Chain A
Amino acid sequence: MPFMIGRAPIRRTIKYLEAGKLVLKDKIKIVTVNYNTYGQTHRGTYDFVFWYLPQIQYKNPQVQIATLKNMTPTPFVRCFYDTGEQMLIDTYDRSKEEIYDHLIQVVGKTKDVLEAEAIAKEKKDNPANFGKGCERHCICEIPGQLPCPGICPVPKEWRGKYKYNKIVE
């Protein structure tokens, strides 16, 4: 889908997706949202799905999120744990912010846990590592190291092509 087409394309920007606050607990595997697309009491849940579900899915790529539309008299969210437990959250006549805050409180990781995880993740990165996902892409970015041959060719006497074949220019 082209970037600026559709309703509220801001929902697809990285900045918006990364601003999501809800990181679900590790044990939660499936989230289902039941709501109707009409009715004032379902409005908050409808908006919640519209505005916050992209963020939640972005932050929790391992979680399956399903929306079940027009099948229920009253809206609710249900979370399934991998241990078999369930958490049923009634969202009747609540605004999207209220639902979001309550979900963060009930099924989201707490702030302390998130901070601890962030620190643990940082510690894993050795500053001496280089390559994809590290601080530096290549060792050549360090002053004093050999530059990449693709950028600055190595001396001819170092290259096998000239060293072994005795090509004289």
Chain B
Amino acid sequence: MLKLTPNLRLLSKHDATNFTKFESVRFRRRKPISLGTAKSKLFKIPPRPSQSEEEKLELQRLHNNYRTQMKSLRYYFIVNHSAEFAEASEDPEESRRVFEEDLKRCTSINEKWNEKQREIREKAISKQQENDIIAALEKVELEKKKIKEMKENIEEIVRKEKEQSKTFITAENIDAAIEQALANPVDYNFALISSGEKILGRDNIPGRDKNKASMNQ
């Protein structure tokens, strides 16, 4: 059998009068891709195809021409033969009038709706504003109350401190205080007995005589 091209084969050698003598070959013999690049071709870098500027421009021009022509042809066929366009070829004035009437009708419906929407929104916003004002006033009240409480607390602390300041040791009575402390040594030692009782001090037991040793010192 004679092989003509990679995918056509002539069935009989002697009679090639018509194309029924050919048979298509379904699979072309070819190396599988899994074999990879041949060793001898592994590092071969084919030169980059170069195109001169002139040639490029010329091809571009031809291509542009082709596209323009095809586009106009396509448009011509669409306009002249398309059923869609045939239907729409009614009077443009008339269709415009119908459209405008329809638009007017829809716009009036929509305007009513939008008006209603505006009322709803304004109502909601004013209500929200009122709520916000009430909330803000409440917050102010709360804040005032807090400040008042804080001031009272501070006053209380100051009052207590003032009371205590009477027993403070100052530059005037420091000598007397030292003398008194030296005269009355305090012994904080204590012993525990097995019953858990606490036996305080050896010589000077704190708390026994309040005049002699004050816990504040």
Distance between Cα atoms of A113 and B53 in the complex (Å): 58
Assuming A90-B117, A90-B118, A164-B20, is B124 touching A41 (CB within 8 A)? yes
Which of A25, A81, A92, A105 makes the CB contact (< 8 A) with B121? A92
For A105, list chain B residues within 8 Å (CB): 106, 109
| Contact mask for chain B residues 108-131; partner A; CB cutoff 8 A; 1 contact, 0 none | 011001100110110010000000
For B150, list chain A residues within 8 Å (CB): none
Assuming A90-B114, A92-B117, A106-B109, is B99 touching A83 (CB within 8 A)? yes
A87 in the interface (beta carbon within 8 A):
yes
B20 contacts A88, C-beta separation under 8 Å: no
B83 contacts A74, C-beta separation under 8 Å: no
Count of chain B residues with Cβ under 8 Å from any Cβ of A?
Answer: 21
B107 in the interface (beta carbon within 8 A):
yes
Min Cβ gap A91→B in Å is: 8
Distance between Cα atoms of A94 and B103 in the complex (Å): 23
Distance between Cα atoms of A27 and B102 in the complex (Å): 11
B20 contacts A165, C-beta separation under 8 Å: yes
Distance between Cα atoms of A106 and B109 in the complex (Å): 7
Min Cβ gap B110→A in Å is: 5
Distance between Cα atoms of A89 and B117 in the complex (Å): 9
For A92, list chain B residues within 8 Å (CB): 117, 120-121, 124
For B106, list chain A residues within 8 Å (CB): 87, 105-107
| Contact mask for chain B residues 7-19; partner A; CB cutoff 8 A; 1 contact, 0 none | 0000110000010
Min Cβ gap B81→A in Å is: 14
A89 contacts B11, C-beta separation under 8 Å: no
| B1-41 CB contacts (< 8 Å) to partner A | 11-12, 18, 20-21
| A118-169 CB contacts (< 8 Å) to partner B | 120, 124, 160-161, 163-165
Min Cβ gap B6→A in Å is: 22
Which of B83, B113, B124 makes the CB contact (< 8 A) with A89? B113
A93 contacts B121, C-beta separation under 8 Å: yes
B121 contacts A87, C-beta separation under 8 Å: no
A102 in the interface (beta carbon within 8 A):
yes
Min Cβ gap B94→A in Å is: 15
Distance between Cα atoms of A90 and B110 in the complex (Å): 9
13 more contacts with CB within 8 A, not counting A87-B106, A90-B117, are A25-B102, A88-B110, A90-B114, A102-B113, A106-B106, A106-B109, A106-B110, A106-B113, A107-B106, A120-B87, A164-B20, A164-B21, A165-B12
Chain B interface residues toward A at CB < 8 A:
11-12, 18, 20-21, 83, 87, 99, 102-103, 106-107, 109-110, 113-114, 117-118, 120-121, 124
User: Could you show 12 A-B contacts with beta carbons less than 8 Å apart?
Assistant: A25-B102, A87-B106, A88-B110, A89-B110, A89-B114, A92-B117, A124-B83, A160-B20, A164-B20, A164-B21, A165-B12, A165-B21
